[in-house]
Amino acid sequence: MTKTRRTTLPRATDRLELGRQRLCVSPLCLGAVRSPDTVLAAFDAGINFFFVTADMHWPLYEGLRQGLSRLFARRRGIRDEVVVAATAYVSQPEFCWMPFKEVLYAVPGLKRIDVTVAGGAYGDEIGTRLGVYREHLATGHVGVRGIGTSFHDRNAAAESVRNASVDVAFIRYNPSHTGARRDVFPHVPDERRTPLYGFTSLSRVVGRARCCELGLGSDYWHPSPVDYYRFALTPPEMDGLLCAPQTPREVASLCRALERGPLDEEEESYLVDLAALDEGRAMITTTPNDQRSGP
């Protein structure tokens, strides 16, 4: 059954509900950023969902940690307007506790972690880890009120969303990685309790300079990074994005891009073909006149 295409995209000021405690989160979830100012700009734009690591890639999240501390210091009560998720990639059950305490120690004003996330999950091991994360909820470990998983196994992701075994799920989806179209999207219900967020939207952006290197002149569409965010949110199954605009200006650019709406089918196909061309999996077989000049 073909699902109805989106006519609009989620906005930063929209809210989704996570878990039994109905945590209200923005469809945009801010991850690793260079500048603490980006965190403040994101909050001012309506983003209230933030994602920090508890172990792997720790240095990359220093800007986010500093930005959160500055945000919490702005005024009394602002912490309650924000939902912070922290992910740990360790899979041994006994090591799934302490990393989250270390996040609390590292971020002044954080007070609690709202969502603990099992990172880099695969189907053959995530069941064991989720047992520990459910204990997080039952015992109130680090103040947690919801649990989630970032999946590297699409079949496991589809099953988790379908069965609502977590409160939020993250999957890879971009023009170079479209397997979710086959392995996830057809298998998740329209009405579901577990929101689905994409990540690595910008892992392989083909910019203007690279387009020219590939022989795509000015008659071809040269997409911008924000078009890749629009690509990732175009499927109606995608509820939100884990994103990483690096500056306040990029936050504003992303919010404006979402107002332009989803890509159409031709634009989606173009970005997928462009990724294949960039990776050497395809060659140019059309003339410029056969291609859109852009959305």
| pLDDT band per the 50, 70, 90 thresholds, residue 295 | very low
Could you tell me the residue ranges of all domains in the chain?
A: 16-205+225-262
pLDDT over 60 at 289, yes or no: no
pLDDT over 80 at 283, yes or no: no
Selected residue with higher pLDDT from 293 and 273: 273
DSSP for 122-189, written as a single string: -TTTHHHHHHHHHHHHHHTGGG--EEEEEES-HHHHHHHHHHT-SSEEEEE-BTTB-THHHHTGGGS-
- From residue 271, give the alpha-carbon distance in Å to each of 176, 234, 289: 9, 12, 17
The pLDDT assigned to 1 comes to 47
- Average pLDDT (214-230) is 94
Say which CATH topology domain 16-205+225-262 has. Answer: TIM Barrel (3.20.20)
Q: What is the pLDDT of residues 223-242, one digit of tens each?
A: 999 999 999 999 999 999 99
| pLDDT band per the 50, 70, 90 thresholds, residue 292 | low
- Average pLDDT (252-269) is 96
Q: What is the pLDDT of residues 46-100, one digit of tens each?
A: 999 999 999 999 999 999 999 999 999 999 999 999 999 999 999 999 999 999 9
